Chains A and B, each alone.
Chain A
Amino acid sequence: MKTVSSNSHAVELHDNIVAHDLTKSFGKVRAVRGLDLSLQRGSTVALLGPNGAGKTTTIDMLIGLTKPDGGTVSLFGRTPAEAVKAGMIGAMTQTGQLIDYLTVRELVTMMAAIYPDPLDVAEALRISGAEEFADRQTRKLSGGETQRVRFAIALVADAELLVLDEPTVALDVEGRRDFWSAMRAFAARGKTVVFATHYLEEADAYADRIVLMSRGRIVADGAPTEIKATVGGRIIRATLPDVELLALHALPGVTTVDRKGDAITLNCSNSDLTLRELLSVYPMVRDIEVRGAGLEEAFLELTVDEEVP
Chain B
Amino acid sequence: MTELTYLRYEVLRTWRNRRFLIFSLVFPLILFLAIAGPNKHVTFDNVPFPLYYMTGMIAWGTMVAVISSGARIAAERNAGWTRQLRITPLPTWSYFSAKIVCGYMMALLSMAVLFAAGSSEGVRLDAVQWFVMIGLLLVGLVPFAVMGIMFGHLLKVDSLGPAIGGVTSLFALLGGSYGPLIRSGFLLSVVKFLPSYWLVQASKTSLRGGAWPLEAWLVIVVWTLVLSFVAVRVYERDTKRV
B-binding residues in A (CB < 8 A): 60, 63-67, 84-87, 89, 91, 93, 95-102, 106-107, 109-111, 113-116, 150, 153, 157
Contact = CB atoms under 8 A, between A and B. Distances in A.
Contact of A101 (B3, B16, B87, B90): B16
B89 A91 contact: no
Interface in B70-110: 76, 79-81, 83-84, 86-90
21 contacts: A64-B87, A65-B87, A66-B242, A67-B240, A87-B89, A91-B87, A96-B79, A96-B80, A96-B83, A98-B81, A100-B13, A102-B9, A107-B9, A110-B6, A110-B10, A113-B2, A113-B3, A113-B9, A114-B2, A115-B89, A153-B84
A101 B17 contact: yes
Interface residues of B, number: 24
A63 B87 contact: yes
Contacts of A60: 242
Contacts of A67: 240
Nearest to B15: A101
Nearest to B13: A101
Given A99-B13, A100-B13, A110-B5, A116 B89 contact: yes
Contacts of A102: 9, 12-13
A84 B242 contact: no
Nearest to A137: B16
A106 B6 CA distance: 10
A164 to B, nearest CB: 12
Contacts of B88: 84, 87, 111, 114-115, 157
A78 B13 CA distance: 35
Interface of A, secondary structure class, is: loop
Contacts of B14: 101
Contacts of B76: 99
A106 B9 contact: yes
Contacts of A96: 79-81, 83-84
Nearest to A157: B88
Nearest to A97: B79
B130 to A, nearest CB: 32
B83 A93 contact: yes
Nearest to B79: A97
A86 B89 contact: yes
Given A64-B86, A96-B79, A113-B9, 20 more contacts: A84-B87, A87-B88, A89-B87, A93-B80, A96-B83, A96-B84, A97-B80, A99-B79, A101-B13, A101-B14, A109-B9, A110-B5, A110-B6, A110-B9, A113-B2, A114-B89, A115-B2, A115-B89, A116-B89, A157-B88
Q: Point out which of B5, B81, B88, B240 has the most chain A C-beta atoms below 10 A from its C-beta.
A: B88
Nearest to B1: A113
A157 B13 CA distance: 22
A106 B3 CA distance: 14
Contacts of A109: 5, 9
Contacts of B79: 96-99
Contacts of A153: 84
Contacts of B84: 91, 93, 96, 150, 153
